Structure formats: structure tokens, C-alpha cells
Amino acid sequence: AQSVAQPEDQVNVAEGNPLTVKCTYSVSGNPYLFWYVQYPNRGLQFLLKYITGDNLVKGSYGFEAEFNKSQTSFHLKKPSALVSDSALYFCAARMDTGRRALTFGSGTRLQVQP
């Protein structure tokens, strides 16, 4: 079975500071990993994905994510947070074979203070 864990319900960071939103996964086979963002009263928007290759993936809005196979982690990062980054962030995973449905984490609310 595949599972995704986001250990922090909320992350608070000051504007201009770097941010990290944590994600660990458990899938058999090679993982495909994704980050999505959800703004209030909106659907989820795709941020970035990891398939294979470089362990540092760059995505939309200046976000990037670091894949670490030994730690089975895929943490979302941004060098300098903006107030407008405040939203709900979801990590998701699926295996490279078999079930195609994405398994999502429980979400982390990012609050960036001015």
C-alpha cells in the first residue's frame, strides 16, 4: 500500500525567510511524487513533480522540492517566502506501476507573516 505523511499541520514563517514543508512517502517500486497548492475556496493547483533524474526539482512560483531516496522524503522548499504563498500544501505519490490514483498527504497549512 502507498502512503504519504506530512508531519506538520501548520508551518509559520516570516516573509523573506526560507520555508520548508515536509513530506515523506511509502510506495513500493519507483515513486512519482507531486506537490499541489490549494488557495481558499479553490481547487488544487499543480506545483511540481519528481519522476526520475535530478533530486532537486524546480516548479511554479519559485518553489522547489528535494527528493531523498534514502530518507523517502520529498520536502518542498522556497528560498524566500511571500505573504501570497500562504495556502494549504499537499504532497502526493503514486507508484510507477499498478494503481494510478494519487495518494495525498493530509496537507500542511503555510502561514507567511509580513
Partner 1 sequence: GAGVSQSPSNKVTEKGKDVELRCDPISGHTALYWYRQSLGQGLEFLIYFQGNSAPDKSGLPSDRFSAERTGGSVSTLTIQRTQQEDSAVYLCASSSNTGASYNSPLHFGNGTRLTVT
Choice from 40, 54, 70, 100 touching partner 1 (CB under 8 A): 100
104 binds partner 1 (CB under 8 A): yes
89 binds partner 1 (CB under 8 A): no
Instruction: Scan residues 57-86 and list those touching partner 1 (CB under 8 A).
Output: none
Nearest to 73 by CA among 14, 33, 19, 28: 33
Q: What does the DSSP 8-state code read for residue 41? A: T
Q: Answer positive or negative: Cα dihedral of 66, 46, 95, 2.
A: positive
Instruction: Scan residues 21-50 and list those touching partner 1 (CB under 8 A).
Output: 32, 34, 36, 41-46, 49
The answer to whether the CB of 49 falls within 8 A of the CB of 25 is no
User: For partner 1, which stretch binds (CB under 8 A), given 15-23, 65-73, 74-82, 95-103?
Assistant: 95-103
